Structure 1
Amino acid sequence: MTRRFVRGALVVLLVGAAAGGGYLLRDRSGRPATAEVGTTKTAAGATIAEALQGSFVGVAEHVRPAVVHVGTIQRAKSRRGPAAPPGAEDPFFRDFFNQFFGTEGPDPRSEFRRPGLGSGVIIDKRGLVLTNYHVVKGADEILIRLSDKREYRGQILGTDPKTDLAVVRFQPDHQLTIAALGNSDALRVGEWAIAIGNPFGLDQTVTVGVISATGRSDVGVATYENFIQTDASINPGNSGGPLLNLKGEVVGINTAIVAAGQGIGFAIPINMVKRVVDQLVDKGKVVRGWIGVGLEPLSPELAQTLGAPGTGGAVVSSTMAGSPAAKAGLQSGDVILAYDRIPVEDYRHMQRLVAETKVGTSVSLELLRKKQKVGVTVTIAELPDEGARRGTGPPPRQ
Structure 2
Amino acid sequence: MFSDGKERFKNFTRILLTVVFTTLAIALVMIFGLTSYISKNNVSKNPDFSLQKQNTQMDENPDNPPRNIQVGYSEDNNFVADVARNASPGVVGISVLKVDSNALFDTGASQKWGIGSGVIVSPEGYILTNHHVVGGRNKKIIVSLADGRNIEGVSVWCEPVLDLAIVKIEAPDLVAVPLGDASKLKVGEPAIAIGNPLGLQFQTTVTSGIISALNRTIEITTDLGTSYMEDLIQTDASINPGNSGGPLLNSKGEVIGINTIKVASAEGMGFAIPINVAKPIIKRYVSFGEFIEPYIGVFAYDREVIKYLDGNIDLEHGIYVANIDENGPAYRSGIRTGDIITHIDGREIDTMMELRSYIYSKDPGDKVTVIYDSKGETKEVEIILAAKEGYGENR
Within the alignment, does 1:140 sit opposite 2:139 as a pair? Answer: yes
Give the residue type in structure 2 aligned to 1:136: V
CA deviation after TM superposition for structure 1 residue 155, in Å: 2.5
Say if 2:294 and 2:363, in contact at 8 Å, map to a contact too: yes
Query: Match of 1:302?
Result: 313
Within a 5 Å distance, the mapping from 1:368-387 to structure 2 comes to: 368-369=373-374, 371-372=376-377, 374-382=378-386, 384-385=388-389
Q: Which residue of 2 aligns with 1:392?
A: none
Correspondence for 1:261 among 263, 266, 287: 266
Looking at structure 2, the residues matched to 322 and 132 of structure 1 have their Cα atoms a distance apart, in angstroms, of 29
Q: Is the 8 A contact 1:159 1:280 kept in 2?
A: no
Question: Structure 1: any 5+ residue segments left out of the alignment?
Answer: 1-32, 80-108, 304-309, 388-398
Deviation at 1:358, TM superposition (A): 4.4
Distance of aligned partners of 1:115 and 1:320 in 2 relative to their CA distance in 1, 3 Å threshold: closer
Could you tell me how far apart the structure 1 residues matched to 2:361 and 2:228 are?
Answer: 13
Q: Give the counterpart of 1:121 among 119, 134, 153.
A: 119
> What is the CA distance between 1:203 and its match in structure 2?
0.8
- 1:241 alignment counterpart: 246
Give the Cα separation in 2 of the matches to 1:319 and 1:121: 33
**C-alpha distance in 2, partners of 1:339/1:362?**
10
Residue type of the partner of 2:81? V
Give the letter for the 1:64 counterpart. Answer: S
Say which one has the larger Rg: 2
Q: RMSD over aligned Cα, in angstroms?
A: 3.8
Within 2, Cα distance between the matches of 1:120 and 1:293?
A: 27
Give the partner amino acid of 1:248: G
Distance 1:287 1:78 in 2: 28
Classify 1:126/1:325 alpha carbon distance in 2 versus 1 (closer, same or farther; 3 Å): closer
What percent of counterpart residues are identical? 32
How has the CA–CA distance of structure 1 residues 317 and 159 changed in structure 2, closer, same or farther, with 3 Å as cutoff?
Answer: closer
CA distances 1:57-76 after superposition (whole Å, capped 9, x unpaired): 11111111111111122256
CA distance in 2, matches of 1:292, 1:231: 33
CA deviations on 1:188-210 (whole Å, 9 max, x unpaired) are 11110000010002111000011
Matched residue SS, 1:248: coil
Contact 2:292 2:364 in 1 (8 A): no
For residues 111 and 326 of structure 1, what CA distance do their matches in structure 2 show? 42
Closer/same/farther in 2, CA of residues 116 and 48 from structure 1, 3 Å limit:
same
8 Å contact kept, 1:228–1:252: yes
Matched residue, 1:60: 84
User: Is contact 1:159-1:285 (8 Å) kept?
Assistant: no
Q: Report what 2:151 is aligned to.
A: 152
Partner secondary structure for residue 247 of structure 1: coil
Structure 1 residue identity aligned to 2:296: W
Amino acid at match of 2:235: T
Measured at CA, do residues 187 and 286 of structure 1 come closer, stay the same or move farther in structure 2, by a change above 3 Å?
A: farther
- Name the stretch that deviates more: 233-242 or 336-345: 336-345
Structure 1 residues 23-79: Cα deviation after superposition (integer angstroms, max 9, x where no partner): xxxxxxxxxx73536634789999741247621111111111111111122256999
Q: What code does the residue aligned with 2:197 have?
A: P
AA in 2 matched with 1:155 = V
Which one of 277, 281, 291 corresponds to residue 276 of structure 1? 281
- Tell me if structure 1 keeps the 8 A contact 2:214–2:231: yes
1:254: how far off? Answer: 0.8
The letter for the 2-side match of 1:49 is: Y
Report the residue type matching 1:379 in the other structure.
I
Going from structure 1 to structure 2, the CA distance change for 1:359 and 1:157 (only over 3 Å counts) comes to closer
Q: CA 1:292–1:386 in 2, change beyond 3 Å: closer, same or farther?
A: farther
2:170 alignment partner, SS class:
coil
- Contact between 2:295 and 2:388, CA under 8 Å: does it hold in 1? no
Q: Is there any run of 5+ residues in structure 2 with no aligned partner, and where?
A: 1-37, 49-67
Tell me the residue number matched to 2:295.
289
1:144-202 superposed Cα distances (whole Å, 9 cap, x missing partner)? 22223222222223323332222223332x52222111111211111100000100021
**Structure 1 partner of 2:206:** 206
Shift of 1:365: 3.8
Q: 1:341 to 1:134 in 2, by over 3 A?
A: same
In the aligned structure 1, how far is the partner of 2:295 from the partner of 2:320? 19
Distance 1:49 1:131 in 2: 34
* One-letter amino acid of the counterpart of residue 281, structure 2: V
Give the AA of the match of 1:156.
Answer: S
8 Å contact kept, 2:198–2:242: yes
Provide closer, same or farther for how the CA distance between residues 55 and 320 of structure 1 changes in structure 2, counting only shifts above 3 A.
Answer: closer
Q: What secondary structure sits across from 2:73 in the alignment?
A: helix
* CA spacing shift, 1:259–1:41, aligned 2, 3 Å: farther
SS of residue paired to 1:154:
strand
- 1-structure distance, mates of 2:277, 2:192: 19
- Aligned counterpart for 1:312 among listed residues 310, 317, 328: 317
TM-score (norm 2): 0.67
